[in-house]
Each structure stands twice: as C-alpha cells, then as structure tokens.
A and B are shown apart, each in its own frame.
Chain A
Amino acid sequence: MALLVDKHRPRSLDALSYHPDLSERLKALAQSGDFPHLLVYGPSGAGKKTRIVATLKELYGPGVEKIKIDSRIFQTTSNRKLEFNIVASVYHLEITPSDVGNYDRVVIQDLLKEVAQTQQVDANAKQRFKVVVVNEADSLSRDAQAALRRTMEKYSPNLRLILLANSTANIIAPIRSRTLLVRVAAPSEEEICKVLTKVGKMEKFKEVEGLNKRIAKESGRNLRKALLMFEAVYAQNDNINERTPIPPPDWEALIAQIADEIIAERTPARLLQVRAKYYDLLSHCIPATMVLKTLTFKLIVKVDDELKGEVVKWSAYYEHRIRMGSKVIFHLEAFTAKFMGIYERHLMGMEF
C-alpha cells in the first residue's frame, strides 16, 4: 500500500491545488516550445518536485511516467570507479549528483555531454530537447557548477536543465543569471487544510475540521509532513475527534524530552545523560542541524523573553560550527552546556 503522499500526488499541472499562477506559467512555458533552463527553489514539502514532474508531463505527454533506474559507472581522473544511479525515461533524466560527493563534477560533465550530443531519436516526440533534472542543486560543488556554466550555453538546442534547490544562496551567480528562477512558496495553513480535507474525502476518512487545522499548524507549512501526520493519526486511532493527539515523529518526541531535561536540571551529570540521547538521534541518521534547530525552538518557548535572543544567537553560532567542523557531537554538547550556563546565570540573576 502506498503512502497517502504518493497515492494522491497530483500528476498533471491542472490537478495542482495551490499556486494557480505558477501552474499557469509553467503550463504556458511548456506549451510555448521555447522552454528555458529552470532553477526551482523553495522550502521542502512545498511541492517543487511535484510541479516539475507535472511540467514534464505537459511537455512530453504520459511517456515520461515510464521510468527505469539505470546504474552507471563513471571513472574519475584518478581511475577510481564511481557507481551512480540515474532515473530515466525516454525523454528525461533525473540525477542527484550530491550522491557522489566530491566527484560530482565528473558525473555532471560526462553525463550532460553524452546527453547533449545525442539527438532525440523518437520522431514523434513533442520536443527536440531532453530534460535533465538535477536534484539538490544547492549542494553541487563550485567546480561542478562552473562546469555547468558553459554546458548550458553550448548544448542548449538538445538539452534543458531543471535545477532543484532549497535555497539559491549556494548557487553561483553565473548559473542564476542563466536560468529562469521559479520560486515555490510553501502552502499556507488554509491550503494545507483544503488538501487534507480533499484527501480525507477520497480515503473515506471521517472529517474533523479542528484536527485538520491542528495538523496544518503543527506541520510548519510542510505539506508532505502534514500528509504523513494525517495518515499516522488515522492509522493509530479508530475513533477520531477534535482532540485526538497528533503523535509527533519519534525523534521529535525525543528532542522534546531532551529539552525538558535540560531545563529541569543543569549539571554535568545531566549533560552526560543528554549526550547518550544525542548519540541515539545521530545513529538514527537525524541530521545534526535538524536536531539543533528543533531543540532550539523547543527550548525557546520555555525560557524567558530576555533569554530568547541569546539562545538563538548561540544556536546559530553552533549550527555554523556544525557545518564547518567534522564531528557534530562536540557542537551539540557545546550548545547544551552553553544553554545550561546561560539559563543558570539568568536564574541566579547574574548578568551574562
């Protein structure tokens, strides 16, 4: 059984439920025959990928939905072999170059050149060009982005790129100026509610408006998360009413617990206990940034207004360090210790 998220994913541009302007634009672009390179950005769960898949369908017809997974081997200059997975249909390719880390440049150069140099074989195809969708474009290395630059201009008759990114901050300016920027904003809470109601109807769930609203609020304007929560609530409870608790994901529950513990007792012994929990989270592949961010927002609601600025300051500080450093646990612990210090001093009425 598929998850609700996948089951009810809109498949065409007309079926998309929010941002009608954007859908219309994409449709017009797809029909105009003069399709530019796109850089699609927005927060996660806003529907970037869904929109792209729908646009591809508008461009090529239902053929794009027949996909297969290819495994390809690339050779780096130092003769290392890289294995790389490509999702492909007759008309388009989808790659996630960040899979191969530092070697993304090799993959980008080889693969795009190969695609660009082959013409569209299918005479019935609607468009003469192939589309390459690049996922997580914001984690492409500088080298890889520089390699894209010339490729985009040189091979533009045979190749269109669609870059997907969470933010444009890490995309170099030359790429940004060569693409049409498409911003996909997260849906508002009402829009999420509408989607939930619609999905609920199709699944024949009992409709509870208050619950939908709460889910929309909890999800932080992330539609994917909202749908997952929605499904979880209905799977776990038989009798649904306004006050049915929404089970948070395990990791979020654990972080909430950590926050409570830190506030309750501020000693080195407690730090040691919390440390075990951090390890638990990290070993379940929860990104450290996410841990720190969630923890910060859980802590902030519990502290005095005066302290809030200070907490955010140190959180941002250690988040940066997590990004730069090599071992994340140090920085998580450091933040915890720092917070304990600030909080303790505040309670004692000392200036920090």
Chain B
Amino acid sequence: MASFFDIRARKAAAAANAGSSKAPASKQENNRLQPWVEKYRPKTLSDVTAQDHTITVLQRTLQASNLPHMLFYGPPGTGKTSTILALAKELYGPELIHSRVLELNASDERGISIVREKVKDFARQQLSNPPSGPAGIEYGKRYPMPPFKIIILDEADSMTQDAQSALRRTMETYSKITRFCLVCNYVTRIIDPLASRCSKFRFKSLDKSNAGQRLEEIAKLEGVPLGEGAVDALVKCSDGDLRKAITFLQSAARLVGALSSGKKDADAMDVDEPANEVTKETVEEIAGTIPDDTIDALLKAIQPRKNGSVYAPTAETVQNIVADGWSATQVLTQLYDKVIYDEKIADLKKGKIAMVFSETDKRLVDGADEHLAILDLVLRISSILSSG
C-alpha cells in the first residue's frame, strides 16, 4: 500500500521503466491459427511503426501520468487501435487492463441506448484497486496505473449523431475518473462538440520503407522466405495499410506453405526446386491485382487508329477480362493509374476522362452490370482520346 500513496516514487520508477518496459517477454502463443495481425500487434508504444510525432507526445503523457481525452484519426491500418491498446497496456499492465479499459467497436451494438447505459455505467464506476501485497508493490513500480479509466470507442465515425451527442455531457461529468479515446477514419464525421473536447492526433499513412521493414521483420520471425520484389508488391497492393499488407503476407505464406507440404507427400523428388517463396506473383494473385499485360492490352485496344474502328478489339478484350473474373473496381483503379499518369495525354482530356471514371465508379457501387460498365468506360475514353 505504501507505494500507492508515494506517487513521486512511482513516477520515477515508471520513467525509469519506460525505456526498458519492452521486457515483458510476451508468451507468444504458438497458435498457427491466430491472425498475424493480432500476433504482431505492437506490445508497447515504442513498437508502433512510424507515427513518431504522436508516439513522442503520448510517451510524455505516459510519464506525467495524465491524459487528455483523445481523438485518433487517419486512414485504416496505420496503427490507431494498436497505439491506444499499447498505451493502455503500458499504463495498467495485464492485471488491471480488464477492469480499467472498456473497448467498444462497430460490431458491438452502439446505439444511443448503449451509450446511455453501458458507457455511462462504466464511466461512473469506482476505480478498481491495484493488486495488494508485495506483488502489488512490484506491480506498481512497473506500471504507472494513473487514477482513471479509459473508454475506447473504436470506429467512432460509424456512431450515430444522437449517440455522439449523448456522449458530450458524459465526457465532462466523469472526467475525474474516466478518459475517452475516440478512434475513427474520418474526423469530419465526429460532431464538433465532441471533437473540441479531445486533443487530436493525426495518423499518417505509412510510407514504403517503414511498412516494408515491418513486413520483413514479420516474415523473418515466421520463417517465410520472401522472393524478390515481394515486399514491394505487398506495400504497393496495400496502399499504406499495414494491416492489409500483413493479412496478404499471411495468406500468401499459407498458400505457399500448404502447396509445399502437399507436394512433399506427392513426390519427394523435387528437392532441387527452389524452396517455395512468396513471390511477387503470389502476392498479386492474392490481392486480386490484374497483371500489367492485361491492362496494357486493354490500353492498346482503345488507342485510336487510322483504319477501322476501335470497337471490335476493345469489345473482345473487355469480354476476356470479364470472363476471367477480374473485378470491375480493380480494372477501374488500375486503368485510372495508367491513364492519369500518362504524359502523352493532354490535361484537358485527362479532366474529361476523370469525369468518366467518376461516373463509372458510382455505377459500379450501385451494382450496375460490370461488363456494360467497363465497355462503356473504355469506349468513352477512346472517343475522348481520338477527339481533337
């Protein structure tokens, strides 16, 4: 109990430990079935990839044992949820985290009634006691255990306006013993009164080197051989979304691993064959990316030509793309990248083409027929290219 009152001593200990608190060698469950995304979730704040600015600020608050209400926003897979979970872990340690942290995400029911009951009930609960006895003293040295609870509202942008307004007063009333952390993708969907009560942290999209490094680390730990260009392909396919990249990596590893074990039974003769590595092609196949050849063929077909119409070759290419089962949205994205960055096309034409893309995208989202939509898209691009 002594240490409970001796705040200063605890703070010093916490500060000393902040650097070395990576130590809790987590009992890594050797469960193959666990998604790697969960398995390699950062355990401490300093493990979080990139986001240096946010982490520095948070680490400082960790030492001061005081926290504002927080609002994390940024694109998916940049480590928002990981950061707040890591922070909670560092603050409370394994024993207190269950009684001091409430996590709600979009798959839980989160209407206004839940905010009124569950959130409010948790917010006004008394603080749970830290473990007592000599073990408790030891525990107190390791974790700061600040005198408040944390409520994490994950994917807060999918909460209704009403539910958000119901939070307003709750946040203030219980601010002595409860801190809120809202996590969302679009800060604009959070109503102003809530946003102004929180200090905001923006999470930026991961750049190539950071994400690549982390992926290589994981591949090494899992013993997955990576082929040349595989990491680049992973980063490219996932658009800075690390979670997606890790999931792709796991799927690829599963597929390659499963194939190799299956082959060994069939014929053990193929020893010379290079050990099955995750290659660029595997990754692209899993991500559903269309090979460049196919897109290039399509682009070639729509180029205006002197004799004959573009219709016949275009229609045939489109027919093949649809029959091969490529998803129309993917065609749209990849074609867009190619056309918009093509320097041979005049800017004015690009503007017109962009409008066609926008309209087609809307149609696809509404569930229009993919074949007609793509055919229409490429024919219109073709006519824009040939005009003027």
Contacts and interface: CB of A to CB of B under 8 A. Distances in A.
Contact of A319 (B324, B368, B382): B368
Given A146-B107, A177-B247, A316-B373, A36 B254 contact: yes
B379 A32 contact: no
A293 B372 contact: yes
Given A25-B258, A169-B328, A173-B76, 16 more contacts: A28-B255, A28-B263, A151-B107, A169-B327, A169-B329, A183-B285, A183-B324, A183-B325, A292-B372, A312-B376, A313-B379, A315-B372, A316-B376, A319-B369, A323-B366, A324-B366
Contacts of A122: none
Interface string A309-325: 10011011101100110
Contact of A24 (B257, B262, B308, B371): B262
B276 to A, nearest CB: 11
Interface in A234-279: none
Contact of B286 (A31, A180, A315): A180
A168 interface: yes
B103 to A, nearest CB: 12
A46 interface: yes
Given A147-B107, A185-B325, A316 B368 contact: yes
Interface of A: 24-25, 27-29, 31-32, 34, 36, 41-43, 46, 146-147, 149-151, 153, 156-157, 167-170, 173, 176-178, 180-181, 183-186, 220-221, 289, 292-293, 296, 300, 305-306, 308-309, 312-313, 315-317, 319-320, 323-324
Q: Which of A32, A289, A300 has the most CB of B within 10 A?
A: A32
A29 B254 contact: yes
Closest 7 CB pairs of A and B: A150-B107, A28-B262, A316-B376, A305-B309, A42-B325, A28-B258, A186-B323
B370 A169 contact: yes
A293 B369 CA distance: 9
A29 B372 contact: no
Interface string B345-380: 000000000000000000111111111110110011
A78 B141 CA distance: 54
A290 to B, nearest CB: 9
Q: Which of A169, A181, A185 has the most CB of B within 10 A?
A: A169
B196 to A, nearest CB: 29
B84 to A, nearest CB: 18
Nearest to B245: A177
Contacts of A43: 322-323, 325
Given A29-B254, A312-B372, A169 B325 contact: no
Contacts of B319: 220
A296 B373 CA distance: 13
Given A32-B262, A150-B107, A220 B327 contact: no
A289 B369 contact: yes
The size bracket of the interface on B is: 35 or more
13 contacts: A28-B255, A31-B261, A149-B106, A153-B35, A167-B328, A168-B288, A168-B327, A168-B330, A169-B328, A181-B288, A185-B323, A186-B325, A293-B372
A338 to B, nearest CB: 14
B32 interface: yes
A170 B376 CA distance: 20
Nearest to B367: A323
Q: Which of A177, A181, A221, A296 has the most CB of B within 10 A?
A: A177
Contacts of A173: 76
B336 interface: no
Given A32-B261, A156-B33, A316-B363, A184 B371 contact: no
Nearest to B322: A43
A309 B379 contact: yes
B41 interface: no
B311 interface: yes
A289 B309 CA distance: 27
Contacts of A306: 309
A220 B367 contact: no
B244 interface: yes
Given A146-B107, A313-B376, A323-B368, A180 B251 contact: yes
B197 interface: no
A215 to B, nearest CB: 16
A42 B379 CA distance: 24
B202 interface: no
Contacts of A170: 367
B251 A36 contact: yes
B259 interface: yes
B243 interface: yes
